[in-house]
């Protein structure tokens, strides 16, 4: 069902410092900050040869990333994203196997302008999993 690893998302308390770390220390290609008001985050995309890293920073009062950073003030891995060919078929197959889809269970458009769903971390060994339609 799952395809390639699309990205690993890391919540960061200081987006400029995290961007500089990936760009200047690790030598990665990084994007400019991209505000995502619908998701309550500002994102910097770190391009790697085989995947991406998303640096997430809170945007707005309702940002779930702000809550994550309150519990993890130094930041940390927030979620992992896998690609799927058909997000609705993947959702239905996962729900039939007992997995919980967060929210209303309907895909919404994610930071890469593609349909996404999130799966409950308690069903995936403590990891918040995002599925993105390839």
Q: What are phi and psi of 31, to 5 degrees?
A: -85, 170
Residues annotated as part of the active site:
130
Q: Which of 114, 53, 61 is nearest to 78 (CA)?
A: 53
Give dist(CA 18, CA 25) in Å, integer. Answer: 10
Which domain CATH number covers 41? Answer: 3.10.180.10
Could you give the number of structural domains in the chain? 1
* Sign, Cα dihedral of 14, 55, 77, 65: positive
DSSP string, 72-99: -TT-EEEEEEEEES-HHHHHHHHHHTTP
Average pLDDT per 10 consecutive residues for the chain, totaling 134 residues: 96 98 98 93 96 96 91 97 97 97 94 94 97 96
Task: Note the pLDDT of residue 60.
Answer: 85
Domain encompassing residue 95? 2-133
């Amino acid at each position: 069902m799952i395809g390639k690893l699309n990205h690993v998302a890391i919540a960061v308390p200081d987006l400029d410092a995290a961007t500089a770390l990936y760009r200047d220390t690790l030598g990665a290609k990084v994007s400019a900050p991209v505000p995502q008001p619908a998701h309550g985050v500002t994102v910097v995309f770190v391009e790697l040869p085989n995947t991406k890293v998303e640096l997430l920073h809170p945007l707005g009062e309702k940002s779930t990333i702000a809550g994550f950073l309150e519990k993890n003030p130094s930041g940390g891995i927030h979620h992992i994203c896998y690609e799927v060919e058909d997000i609705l078929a993947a959702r239905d197959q996962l729900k039939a196997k007992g997995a919980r889809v967060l929210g209303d269970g309907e895909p919404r458009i994610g930071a890469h302008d593609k349909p996404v769903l999130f799966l409950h971390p308690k069903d995936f060994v403590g990891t918040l999993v995002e599925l993105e339609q390839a």
